[in-house]
Amino acid sequence: MKTNWPWLALIALGAYHGINPAMGWLFAVGLGLQEKSRRAVMAALLPIALGHAASIAIFAGLVWLAQASIPDKPLRIGAAAVLIGFGLYRLLRARHPRWVGMRVGFRDLTLWSFVMATAHGAGLMLVPVLLGMGGTDTTHAEHSLAMGMDMNHGEHAAMLEGTTGLLVPIAAVAVHTLALLLVAAVIALVVYQWLGLSVLRRAWLNLDLIWVATLMIAGLVILFV
């Protein structure tokens, strides 16, 4: 019997990404203050979420393809090595991609968000969850053939399982991105409307360090859980 933990984990990670100012809400607030408009804050969040989703989707697609062609144990070892290696890289080289300025449009914001999410390894953080989800039961067609069903039915079942399995990473990206968007929107509006950016100087938390630690812990989780 499957549990809902992977979906809850996707929501939690989406909220965590939404809290991180490097994932976009700080940029949205800056644009809002520049334009002196709350609408500008909200307008900036949609392309930011789309760029983040595009980056996450690449990793989700790679995991889906890898699960279909690589045995589970080598896949987990490889994923753990990538997570821990990227975490060490971020720890030793903690630089953010630079941007040209604050005069940006929808396409620029989407691209900026994609670059930031990819550079921070946001999609890598979802790898343990995606591996744990396991998609759907991909052995259904094999069982059907073993029970003496004809080849055409077996091929149809395999195609159906493949299509259904692809829906899992798509849904995962959607759930994660929606959680990020909702949390980022709440934080951006609260900071813009009431707190102001000065709150960051009084109550700053090194989320980059937490991010790196989380990536490396996720790598260990893949290996030992």
What was the pLDDT predicted at 7? 93
Q: Which residue in this structure is represented by tokens 């983040």?
A: 52
CA distance 218 to 76: 11
CA distance 45 to 106: 10
Largest CA distance in the chain: 70
pTM for the model stands at 0.78
Measure Cα distances from 143 to 34, 138, 148, 159, 161 in Å: 61, 10, 9, 14, 12
- The values of phi and psi at residue 43, to 5°, are -65, -30
Q: Which residue in this structure is represented by tokens 């969850």?
A: 129
Does 160 score more than 50 pLDDT?
no
**Average pLDDT score, the chain:** 79
DSSP E strand boundaries for the chain: none
What was the pLDDT predicted at 11? 96
What was the pLDDT predicted at 2? 54
Give the tokens for residue 200. 């960051």
- % of the chain exceeding 70 in pLDDT: 73
Amino acid at 119: A
What are the structural domain ranges in the chain? 5-136+170-224
